Chains A and B, each alone.
Chain A
Amino acid sequence: MDHDYIEAHDVSSRYVTGRLPDGEERDFEAHLVDCQRCIDAVEAEMSLREGLRTVGSECAPQPFARVVPPTSRATTAYRLLRAAAAVLLAVSVGLGAWLSRSRVELGAARGARAELERRAEQAEQSARTLEKRLAEVPAPANAAPTIARTEPVVPAAVFALTTVRGSSVGANPVNRIRIDGNPKVVVFSLEIPTVPGAGDCEVSLKDRAGRRLWSGTLTSSPSDTLGVAVDRALLPAGDYVLEVSRRSAGRSQVLGRYPFRVDAG
């Protein structure tokens, strides 16, 4: 086996990814073991593959602590507002994870992180403002006294999913998640392609058999990232796909498919 043949037939790539027939693999190894040039090529390919595997399997669970039980109408509203703030915060973190993973170089990632921290701070600030406003709302006469809160409200886990075209559920999905702890909500950060024209997005969660477990509608947004919060109870270990589509002129257009596997925690 010579280098002309190896280059013309992409042998080192096929070797690393296990695509060589057995006889050809043995021939290549007999050459490879004593060829520094091919060793360099194969080492780099294996390293690239490992790096991509790590990037593909990375996820950033952000567990939150337990909620204080609501005691009145005011605290229920407050809880919802806090939940919204927490989800916004979680989506920001998820967006940050995705951006830092695949879009920008390290310097840009640092900038993005700073920006996200600023946004997270803003979200916290908003939550504090809302809290203050709620405190100004007179409580009903029969309301129970407000419990001092020291913990975040919604236990949630955040994952950034990568879109995969043409891949069916269960076919070794790139996205694999493990939900640690006991979050009530699982938040997915989905990057969607920018599509001209307005229209609400429909997001659906399907299981391996294609059964729709949940669906919801989101109003359109200029952002190319969607945050989707799903009840943890809907996601026992198994294969799923999140599908984002847009309905326009009576037809549904799929914007992205995000197959993923939930590993047993």
Chain B
Amino acid sequence: MGGPLLLGRIHARGRVEVGQRDAWAETAELVRRIEQGDGGAEVDFIQRYRRGVTVIVARNCRDQSPVEDLCQDVLTTALEKIRSGAVREPDRLSGFVAGLARTVVLEHYRKEGARSAIDARMGAPPQAAPPVALDRLLRQEQAFIARRVLSELDSDRDRQILFRFYIAEDDKERICRDLGLTPLHFNRVLFRARERYRDLYRQWTAAHGGGRRDDSGSRRTLI
């Protein structure tokens, strides 16, 4: 080896984090290739951002039914903007894509609000389509894994921590005060529950071929 090699930041568990500047350089290169009409770069772009966009859209949507369509919308719009040279800071492509995802979701609900107002004047809107069997199966599976995690917790108090934090959305401080907990205990319960859920979730997705797949064969998120 000719000289020193910069690996990035080394973490306690031995992981190596790619430097921010490297990531920026990569995305700038990706933008340049798409601008030059490289079809392979567009595929790379989709593969790189699809899951992240899905998570952001799902997190910002009130329900899951429009998530897939909105993701398509985000990725298509992003590609159009890149092709037309509208991305002014190519090295900040991730920030651009994330911001676009938020904007598309907000715009969707703004339009839906206007449509609801029209529907209210014109008469009842048609009923939403019932959830498909696969969605029901996923919900059942999520509930099953959650139950399993709950059953493995030490006490009813620990189960309450999860419910109050994730469902009732109580503050950590309030939960600790009400249940007489130290912040350390709180963090430990949450950490253990999350790790356990993640393990079971991974097992489940592995057993089901990596989770839901859409038409393009890429993995769909289990949310």
Contact = CB atoms under 8 A, between A and B. Distances in A.
A32 B55 contact: yes
B98 interface: yes
B49 A46 contact: no
Contacts of A165: 160, 178-179
B168 A29 contact: no
A251 interface: no
Contact of B95 (A30, A39, A108, A164): A30
A184 interface: no
Interface stretch (B110-118, B121-129, B193-201): B193-201
A162 B163 CA distance: 10
Interface string B51-83: 111011011000000000000000000000000
A171 B170 CA distance: 10
A55 B178 contact: no
A42 B163 contact: no
Interface string B160-201: 101111111100001000110000000100100110011001
A18 B174 CA distance: 16
A45 B48 CA distance: 21
Given A30-B99, A33-B97, A193-B156, A48 B146 contact: yes
A26 interface: yes
Contacts of A55: 143, 146-147, 150
A105 B17 CA distance: 38
A169 B56 CA distance: 33
B156 A45 contact: no
A18 B169 contact: yes
A34 B148 contact: no
Interface stretch (A9-17, A126-134, A211-219): A9-17
Between B9, B97, B166, B190, the greatest number of chain A beta carbons within 10 A of the residue's beta carbon is seen for B166
A144 to B, nearest CB: 48
A123 B159 CA distance: 32
Contact of A39 (B55, B92, B139): B55
B149 interface: yes
A167 B164 CA distance: 10
Between B9, B144, B167, the greatest number of chain A beta carbons within 10 A of the residue's beta carbon is seen for B167
A104 B156 contact: no
Interface of B: 9, 11, 17, 20, 23, 27, 48-49, 51-53, 55-56, 58-59, 92, 94-95, 97-99, 101-102, 139-140, 142-152, 156, 159-160, 162-169, 174, 178-179, 187, 190, 193-194, 197-198, 201, 221-223
22 contacts: A4-B11, A29-B56, A30-B92, A30-B98, A30-B99, A33-B98, A34-B94, A39-B51, A43-B55, A47-B222, A48-B145, A48-B193, A49-B166, A51-B142, A52-B166, A54-B140, A55-B143, A101-B147, A163-B156, A163-B160, A166-B174, A171-B168
